[in-house]
Structure 1
Amino acid sequence: MPPRTNRLQHEDYTIGWISPLPIERAAAEAMLDEIHAVPNGFSTNETDTNIYIWGCIGEHNLVIASLAPDVYKLVYKVATVTLLSLVASLPSIRFWLWVGIGSGIARPDKGWDIRLGDIVVGQPRGTVCHYDLVKASMGDECVQKSFIGLPPGLFLSALTRIKAAHEQKGSKVPIFLQEMLMKNPQMRKTPNQDPGYTHQGFENDRLFNASCDHIPGPDCGGCDVGSEVQRGPRDKTRPEIHYGIIASGNTPVKDAATRDRIVAEVGDDCICMETEAGTLISNFPCLMIRGICDYADSHKNDQWQRYASATAAAYAKELLAYIPAAEVAREIPIPG
């Protein structure tokens, strides 16, 4: 872990990084180049229960925000509680990244060959589509609420640059993942032998037809092999990066029929679902980055969550290199 040496002013921190869950926070913290001491002049707003860590990545000073254990389980409150408190306590923040896990909507036959551990970035038609997933899961008609605004212009420019760089040289995500494990070897395997922050093996990444329900058990060993979607092999564990719409709601989708119905409402560029930002406020400049940990169907389990948290965090780290710190400083802070 980088030493807590620097002590800056709280005004020096201009980018917020939201990772509400403990596993997401662990991955985010592991990507920091340095961890800083609590900045001078910082005091939390009286309503603020967030947990903060300060540090830097490259030339950017940023603050990572996660939720207290008794709060992060209240999914429908996550976005509002975290962001309003962040703005109140850190009024110098210009932009924020929302980085964590999500469910992939894989449709290989339509060009969306999304695998577990891959990365989805919310672009271009708004980062998040608000959906009433509770209503959808009850079999009622899906009701589209709204799209939040486009990510900040600096992020959109950075996305253009990083895409071009990936065409030429590939992504640095595998490098950052390797560095994370070298600095934090305990992340390969958790103390209680839960899956670590490493690729979980191609044999544990299985996509089933929407009509195939999961057979109860800790894995898909009893599920119908004949209903498994046949996909071309990947020769490397390097995660692929996809850009599209991320649908968000208050209830996790664990049913393929519900998932497909929501996609039909949103459009074919909807490639990910998540629940943390279900009440996201539209006037917050945001870019959402999700690591894929399941396929939003009855076969979902927790095995890939830590690795997916790490791939999303590694992409966020790489993206920051394409955003000039001087340009961030010139932007107007997020209004409280």
Structure 2
Amino acid sequence: MTYSHNDYSIGWICALPLEMAAAKAMLDKPHPRLAQPPHDHNTYAVGELFGHNVVIACLPSGVVGTASAATVATRMLSTYPRIRFGLMVGIGGGVPSADNDVRLGDVIVSNPGGEFGGVVQYDYGKAIREGRLQRTGMLNKPPNVVLTAVSELQSNHLMGMSQIPQFLRDMLVRFPGMTLFGYPDNTEDILFEASYEHEVASRTCRGCDQKRVFARDARVSKDPQIHYGLIASGNQVVKSAVVRDKLGADLGVLCFEMETAGLMDGFPCLVIRGVSDYADSHKNDDWQMYAAAVAAAYAKELLSCVSVAQTENIPNALDAGIGLATPARNA
């Protein structure tokens, strides 16, 4: 079968090459790459997932942030004008708390809450007293058909019917070279007290004071837990547990990332993040590949809950949005 740019209905955006690798590994059937206009500098992978034709794009190497994501999305929608909604899939920094037992390798899914549509741009707003920011609006939520699929998937998981572990096993069978995307058995999941800073000279935490580890009960299963709530997006990497906990308490967010605030006004999308670190000074890359894989596996399972017929009844993202010429300004 020959495909055209108008045949693709779902846009999947990644920030890092490792995230794109996980996304491509989840495709049921890859498609041949299509020609694209000279002004579109994105690189795409296209294929099929549960009957949906999906186009995957990655931000330019080393160029992250809301502006870069907005540029990639703008070009994608120009070249693939029949895209109905987007998925922003990759890794993020988790926000563990007494209310949310967020751990490395878990998945955070954006979900509307209070005045926010699922994502809050934490570094934009109106300055008020005591150095705090007052958020000046909200970012758009994804289409209802996507949120309905999220609800169905939540119910399936509550019944113990998650396909994520099987998708991960299938990935490793189909792509034996992706062993680093498997569960990092030899790497511990350690959460330090918020006030304890990492020993600067070491890449690992072997030299860190183990007496400052925050005690948590061991989990019975290695399978990821899925958390639904607000995700904080901004142009700065959060590497301070004190800042993490303050913003987490102020905004009620479960995760930090650096791209989606550039998309949400003109590209209705769901954000899916695998937890690769705790947004603190102990942050390293050990869990990144597995976190990217579990996020991609959740995205795949989500699409199994969205019928192709439902997707066809959603307005094109170009018609639904207000444009992506600049990053979102209302957070």
Both proteins in one fold, TM over 0.5: yes
Q: Give SS of 1:120's match.
A: strand
Distance 2:15 2:2 in 1: 24
The question of whether the paired residues in 2 share the 8 Å contact of 1:124 and 1:244 is answered with: yes
The question of whether the paired residues in 2 share the 8 Å contact of 1:98 and 1:286 is answered with: yes
Determine which of 30, 36, 58 is the counterpart of 1:43: 36
Distance 1:135 1:48 in 2: 35
Aligned ranges 1:86-105 → 2 under 5 Å: 86-105=76-95
The question of whether the paired residues in 2 share the 8 Å contact of 1:57 and 1:320 is answered with: yes
| CA shift digits 1:117-138 (9 cap, x unpaired) | 10000002222100118999xx
Q: Quick check: 1:206 aligned with 2:194?
A: no
Q: Give SS of 1:288's match.
A: strand
Residue in structure 2 matched with residue 191 of structure 1 by the alignment: none
The question of whether the paired residues in 2 share the 8 Å contact of 1:80 and 1:281 is answered with: no
Q: Quick check: 1:244 aligned with 2:234?
A: no
The question of whether the paired residues in 2 share the 8 Å contact of 1:144 and 1:265 is answered with: no
In structure 1, stretches of 5+ residues that fail to align are 1-5, 189-195
Determine which of 57, 64, 87 is the counterpart of 2:56: 64
Residue in structure 2 matched with residue 326 of structure 1 by the alignment: 309
Distance 2:124 2:197 in 1: 20
1:277–1:145 Cα change, 3 Å: farther
In structure 2, stretches of 5+ residues that fail to align are 324-331
1:331 deviation in Å?
1.5
Distance 2:126 2:168 in 1: 38
Distance 1:150 1:75 in 2: 20
Percent identity, please.
42
Distance 1:271 1:9 in 2: 39
The question of whether the paired residues in 1 share the 8 Å contact of 2:10 and 2:85 is answered with: yes
1:74 deviation in Å?
4.0
1:297–1:61 Cα change, 3 Å: same
Deviates more, 1:214-223 or 1:301-310: 214-223
| CA shift digits 1:185-205 (9 cap, x unpaired) | 1111xxxxxxx1111237521
Structure 1 segments of 4 or more deviating over 6 A?
133-136
Determine which of 122, 137, 150 is the counterpart of 1:131: 122
Residue in structure 1 matched with residue 12 of structure 2 by the alignment: 17
Distance 2:224 2:142 in 1: 23
The question of whether the paired residues in 1 share the 8 Å contact of 2:9 and 2:311 is answered with: yes
| CA shift digits 1:99-128 (9 cap, x unpaired) | 000000011x22x11110100000022221
1:146–1:185 Cα change, 3 Å: farther
1:142–1:328 Cα change, 3 Å: same
1:35–1:306 Cα change, 3 Å: same
| CA shift digits 1:232-283 (9 cap, x unpaired) | 111221111000100011011000111122123213xx11000122433413
Distance 1:331 1:133 in 2: 30
Determine which of 301, 315, 323 is the counterpart of 2:298: 315
Aligned ranges 1:109-188 → 2 under 5 Å: 109-110=98-99, 112-125=100-113, 126-132=117-123, 140-188=131-179
1:170 deviation in Å?
2.6
The question of whether the paired residues in 2 share the 8 Å contact of 1:122 and 1:128 is answered with: yes
Q: Give SS of 2:312's match.
A: helix
Give RMSD over aligned pairs: 2.1
The question of whether the paired residues in 2 share the 8 Å contact of 1:134 and 1:249 is answered with: no
Q: Give SS of 1:155's match.
A: helix
Deviates more, 1:284-293 or 1:225-234: 225-234
1:26 deviation in Å?
0.1
Aligned ranges 1:175-324 → 2 under 5 Å: 175-188=166-179, 196-201=180-185, 204-216=188-200, 217-267=202-252, 270-324=253-307
Number of residue pairs matched by the alignment = 313
1:32 deviation in Å?
0.2
Distance 2:265 2:124 in 1: 18
Q: Give SS of 2:12's match.
A: strand
| CA shift digits 1:38-68 (9 cap, x unpaired) | 34xx533x43221101100111111001133
Amino acid at match of 1:213: E
Q: Give SS of 1:106's match.
A: coil
Distance 2:243 2:93 in 1: 13
Distance 1:330 1:83 in 2: 21
Distance 2:154 2:263 in 1: 26
1:156 deviation in Å?
0.9
1:208 deviation in Å?
0.9
1:96–1:235 Cα change, 3 Å: same
Deviates more, 1:140-149 or 1:199-208: 140-149
1:325 deviation in Å?
0.5
